[in-house]
């Protein structure tokens, strides 16, 4: 574009003329886009006035637009709808006729004129129906009446038999009074004959035939059909209009409302979404739209319409839902207050403010919803009513019904904008209601620091420095110095007191430590880490009653993690143990072990508690071993050789426990053995399997599988070995389907190549096949493979040798098989070996009375698991009557 210079005065004059008259239509191509934008902007401005029911101003804008854009159907149709709202249809018709004389070629003017006549005819029918309804409402049916022109009433009270019209334009205000019912003879424009009305409708219907590609023709034709009650046919024409132009405000408004009323059954077409996308000021009900328009009118100095933009929202909500939410009432009052102030109407502004205050007080006393109260607080704050906003915020903070997220949001907002002593007290209530929310704890700290005028950045920097030192250099001397400096700056930080208590406790300054721990506990009962450290301090100073009381109350905290809850139970158990109440200690530590079964401290406390229950001499005699276990299992600096030696002693002691029916104690010992050694021996695996099956096979397997999550797991106990061990546990429980499952898992695992694992897998699979009587030859081969894998035949378990002998007998090799079994049976034979010997003798036909009598001399072993239980029962049945001096010893 050429620059403006003194050599082009004509062009400059033309540009100035265009800028002065925004409604002049330029014929130059370079101004087409700007004029189009001008048209759209003015139409949107008109929509804003229509939005607030200011039809006068909207009508003036549309009138100017129609003179300039006489071929724009949307402008002219919009003008018709506005004229119908302000009872200006007759005036509009005259104006359109004048406009048509200037622009006879304009189809838009012609269509708008027809639409105006349709609306006039419809209004005439409406007035007749209205007058008839009024007569029926106020006068007896049998009495002849004369119409009095002086009677007027709001339209909201007028009964009408006409269906609700579509919101193509906005509803008539409740306080609007209709025109006097004039004599129809004096209304030339409304007193149409039947033939004249028919001519209007026929002309409208013909539009769709004459202009099949013109969406406006279909729209006007649809309006004509609507006017004579043919809604379904009208709907078809409007649908066609939409297909031809899907951005027509007139068509979309009609279809949108029909869809909302349920007349449109095509749910695939979302007319309302498309309609709203054209201009958000075409639709009521969005808070952002109403408030944006309010601000625009305020900025323009149009205070009346500013108030109306919010009032319209309340009216819409009343119509849609039958009530106006409290927060919208407050918004209306606050908006009115501000508008009245700007208009220098201070009396009205104060009236609005006082009403807001009354509503806030009522909501504070009986709030329906805390989110609603928070919204009201934000509104009051935005409009400068700080005290009312604070009242609402504080109510949200102290209410136990407030949702945690809302409390955190409110606390953060208040601390950031207006910290005070009153706020600090409310935050303390919130902290209690939220059961120690970390976010509220932080807000309390920041609020206190702001009140004390402390430099928050410097304070938090030093505090973080202390945390890092405690984590990385716990023995640093700088920790205490920095903590004392922080305490001088602000002496109400419970976390600092917690750290000071911990440091003084380690230094042996118990008096100072107790003071700081007590202060911390008084200020912050919900700091679970601090409470645990306080409890441990009380245990160290032997204040068992206080420690137990705090721990028992601490278990009620919802903020406790699972690990912290376990520590609380351990603390309670420790106090009971220290007081000599071993049974309570035993019961309490079981609660910790139920969720953390491999915690060394918990296992040791359970063992020590069990030693002293009921003065069990067998367990008490081995108290020294338990003390050694405690020293080793809790001390990471012990040599591996010492650990392995203690593990072997533990296994031996554990097997004795199994023989003495202390299977639960044995299972705890097996877990300790796993934790202290990396040497996975056959003895250890056998001990784990026997103690687990004797205790509870299902729980034992669950706890063994938890080992896989333990980073400090015994390095030699891989998943394949663990699977083989689990299969062994289930075999001792007689659960052969699960034995097969775990054998399959173990064999498919990449770690199953370990020699010990291979041996156990072969032995277990052979045992499973034997017990189920399937493929005895394969069972024999598997067992022989297991035997061959041992370095020395002396290392082959006796149970394995006896089972091999039984498999030979079962396949007809009686002599060899019986010899092998008898050579490996001794007075300390297992129930399994005794069982297969008896079964082998029975198969070989050598189970006579003499043999039975000799077998009873061997039978002095009590079953320790369900598999042995079943074998004992079958032995009893097979051998028959036995001497009273040799009881079977069935497990209960």
Span 433-485, pLDDT tens digits:
988 889 999 999 999 999 999 999 999 999 999 899 888 887 788 889 999 99
Query: Hey, what's the torsion of the CAs at 343, 344, 345, 349, to 10 degrees?
Result: 90
Which one has a higher pLDDT value, 424 or 560? 424
Query: Hey, what's the torsion of the CAs at 837, 839, 840, 845, to 10 degrees?
Result: 120
For position 739, what pLDDT does the model report? 87
Q: What does the angle CA 805 – CA 809 – CA 812 come to, to the nearest 5 degrees?
A: 145
The mean pLDDT of 266-271, rounded to a whole number, is 75
Which one has a higher pLDDT value, 632 or 337? 337
pLDDT band at 754 (very low <50, low <70, confident <90, very high): low
5 pLDDT exceeds 70? no
Span 12-62, pLDDT tens digits:
333 333 232 333 333 333 344 455 667 778 888 888 898 888 989 988 999
276 pLDDT exceeds 60? yes
Asked if 59 and 179 touch (Cβ cutoff 8 Å), the reply is no
For position 130, what pLDDT does the model report? 42
Which one has a higher pLDDT value, 163 or 188? 188
Which one has a higher pLDDT value, 572 or 786? 572
For position 87, what pLDDT does the model report? 85
For position 124, what pLDDT does the model report? 59
For position 148, what pLDDT does the model report? 36
For position 859, what pLDDT does the model report? 59
827 pLDDT exceeds 80? no
For position 846, what pLDDT does the model report? 80
Identify the CA nearest to 465 among candidates 440, 485, 449, 436. 485
83 pLDDT exceeds 70? yes
Range in 67-71, 445-449, 635-639, 844-848 the model is least confident about: 635-639
Identify the DSSP state of 3.
P
pLDDT band at 179 (very low <50, low <70, confident <90, very high): very low
Asked if 673 and 687 touch (Cβ cutoff 8 Å), the reply is yes
For position 712, what pLDDT does the model report? 62
Asked if 805 and 820 touch (Cβ cutoff 8 Å), the reply is yes
Range in 97-101, 348-352, 687-691, 709-713 the model is least confident about: 709-713
pLDDT band at 651 (very low <50, low <70, confident <90, very high): very high
Question: Residue 385 class from Cβ within 10 Å (0-12 exposed, 13-18 middle, 19+ buried)?
Answer: buried
For position 194, what pLDDT does the model report? 59
3-state SS, residue 188: coil
Task: State the chain's mean pLDDT as an integer.
Answer: 81
400 pLDDT exceeds 70? yes
Tell me the CA end-to-end span of the chain in Å, nearest whole number: 106
Residues 6+ apart with CB under 8 A from 736: 730, 768, 771, 772
Q: Residue holding tokens 């079943």?
A: 870
For position 279, what pLDDT does the model report? 80
Rounded distance between C-alpha atoms, residue 458 and residue 445, angstroms: 14
The mean pLDDT of 549-556, rounded to a whole number, is 92
For position 880, what pLDDT does the model report? 61
Where helices occur in 559-634 by DSSP H, the ranges are 562-578, 582-595, 600-611, 617-620, 623-633
The mean pLDDT of 380-401, rounded to a whole number, is 94
% the chain with pLDDT above 90: 37
């Amino acid at each position: 574009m050429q620059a403006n210079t003194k050599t082009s005065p004509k062009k400059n004059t033309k540009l100035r003329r265009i800028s002065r008259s925004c409604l002049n239509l330029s014929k130059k191509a370079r101004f087409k886009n700007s004029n189009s934008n001008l048209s759209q902007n003015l139409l949107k401005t008109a929509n804003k006035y229509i939005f607030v029911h200011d039809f006068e101003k909207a009508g003036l804008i549309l009138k100017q637009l129609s003179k300039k854009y006489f071929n724009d159907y949307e402008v002219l149709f919009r003008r018709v709808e506005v004229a119908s709202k302000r009872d200006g249809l007759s005036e509009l018709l005259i104006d359109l006729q004048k406009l048509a004389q200037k622009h006879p070629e304009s189809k838009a003017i012609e269509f708008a004129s027809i639409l105006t006549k349709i609306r006039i005819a419809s209004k005439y029918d409406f007035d007749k129906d209205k007058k008839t309804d009024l007569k029926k409402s106020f006068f007896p049916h049998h009495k002849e009446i004369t119409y009095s022109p002086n009677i007027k009433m709001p339209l909201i009270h007028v009964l009408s038999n006409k269906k609700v019209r579509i919101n193509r334009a906005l509803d008539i205000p409740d306080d609007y009074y209709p025109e006097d019912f004039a004599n129809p003879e004096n209304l030339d424009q409304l007193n149409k004959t039947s033939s004249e009305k028919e001519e209007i409708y026929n002309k409208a219907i013909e539009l769709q035939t004459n202009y099949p590609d013109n969406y406006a023709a279909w729209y006007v034709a649809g309006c004509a059909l609507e006017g004579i009650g043919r809604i379904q046919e009208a709907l078809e024409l409007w649908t066609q209009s939409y297909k031809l132009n899907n951005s027509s405000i007139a068509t979309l408004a009609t279809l949108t409302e029909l869809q909302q009323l349920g007349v449109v059954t095509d749910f695939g077409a979302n007319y309302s979404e498309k309609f709203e996308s054209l201009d958000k000021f075409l639709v009521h009900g969005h808070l952002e739209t109403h408030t944006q328009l309010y601000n625009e009118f305020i900025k323009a100095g149009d205070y009346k319409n500013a108030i109306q933009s919010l009032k319209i929202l309340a009216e819409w909500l009343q119509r849609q839902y039958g009530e106006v939410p409290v927060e919208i009432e407050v918004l209306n009052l606050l908006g009115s207050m501000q508008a009245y102030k700007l208009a220098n109407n201070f009396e009205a502004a104060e009236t609005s403010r006082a009403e807001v205050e009354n509503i806030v007080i009522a909501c504070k006393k009986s709030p329906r919803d805390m989110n609603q109260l928070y919204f009201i607080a934000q509104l009051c704050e935005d409009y400068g009513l700080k005290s009312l906003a604070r009242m609402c915020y504080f109510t949200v903070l102290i209410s136990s019904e407030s949702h945690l997220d809302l409390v955190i949001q409110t606390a953060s907002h208040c601390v950031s904008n207006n910290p005070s002593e009153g706020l600090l007290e409310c935050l303390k209530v919130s902290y209690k209601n939220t059961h120690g929310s970390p976010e509220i704890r932080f807000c309390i700290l920041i609020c206190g620091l702001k009140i004390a005028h402390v430099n928050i950045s410097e304070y938090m920097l030093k505090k973080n420095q202390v945390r890092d030192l405690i984590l990385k250099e716990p023995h640093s001397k700088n920790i205490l110095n920095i903590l004392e400096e922080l305490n001088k700056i602000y002496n109400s930080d419970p976390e600092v007191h917690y750290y000071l208590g911990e440091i003084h406790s380690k230094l042996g300054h118990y008096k100072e430590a107790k003071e700081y721990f007590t202060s911390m506990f008084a200020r912050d009962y919900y700091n679970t880490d601090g409470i645990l450290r306080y409890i441990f301090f009380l245990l160290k100073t032997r204040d068992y009653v206080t420690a137990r009381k705090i721990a028992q109350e601490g278990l009620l905290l919802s903020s406790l993690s699972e690990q912290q809850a376990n520590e609380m139970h351990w603390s309670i158990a420790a106090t009971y143990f220290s007081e000599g109440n071993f049974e309570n200690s035993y019961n309490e530590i079981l609660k910790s072990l139920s969720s953390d079964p491999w915690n060394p401290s918990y296992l040791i406390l359970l063992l020590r508690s069990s030693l002293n229950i009921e003065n069990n001499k067998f367990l008490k005699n081995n108290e020294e071993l338990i003390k050694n276990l405690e020293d080793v299992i809790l001390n990471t600096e012990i040599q591996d050789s010492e650990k392995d030696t203690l593990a072997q002693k533990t296994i031996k002691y554990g097997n004795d426990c199994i023989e003495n029916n202390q299977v639960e104690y044995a299972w705890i010992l097996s877990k300790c053995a796993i934790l202290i050694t990396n040497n996975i021996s056959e003895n250890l695996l056998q001990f784990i399997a026997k103690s687990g099956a004797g205790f509870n096979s299902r729980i034992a397997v669950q706890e063994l599988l938890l080992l896989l999550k333990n980073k400090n797991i015994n390095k030699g106990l891989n998943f394949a070995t663990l699977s083989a061990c689990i299969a062994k546990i289930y075999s001792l429980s007689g659960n052969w389907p699960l034995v097969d499952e775990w054998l399959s898992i173990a064999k498919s695992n990449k770690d199953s190549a370990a020699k010990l694992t291979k041996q156990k897998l072969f032995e277990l699979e052979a045992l499973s096949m034997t017990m189920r009587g399937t493929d005895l030859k394969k069972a024999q081969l598997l067992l022989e493979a297991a035997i061959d894998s041992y370095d020395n035949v002396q290392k082959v378990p006796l149970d394995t040798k006896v089972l091999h002998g039984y498999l030979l007998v079962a396949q007809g090799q009686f002599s060899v098989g019986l010899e092998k079994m008898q050579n490996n049976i001794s007075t300390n034979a297992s129930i399994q070996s005794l069982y297969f010997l008896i079964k082998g003798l029975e198969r070989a036909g050598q189970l006579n009375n003499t043999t039975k009598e000799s077998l009873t001399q061997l039978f002095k072993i009590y079953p320790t698991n369900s598999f042995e239980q079943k074998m004992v029962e079958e032995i009893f049945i097979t051998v028959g009557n036995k001497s009273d001096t040799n009881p079977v010893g069935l497990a209960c």
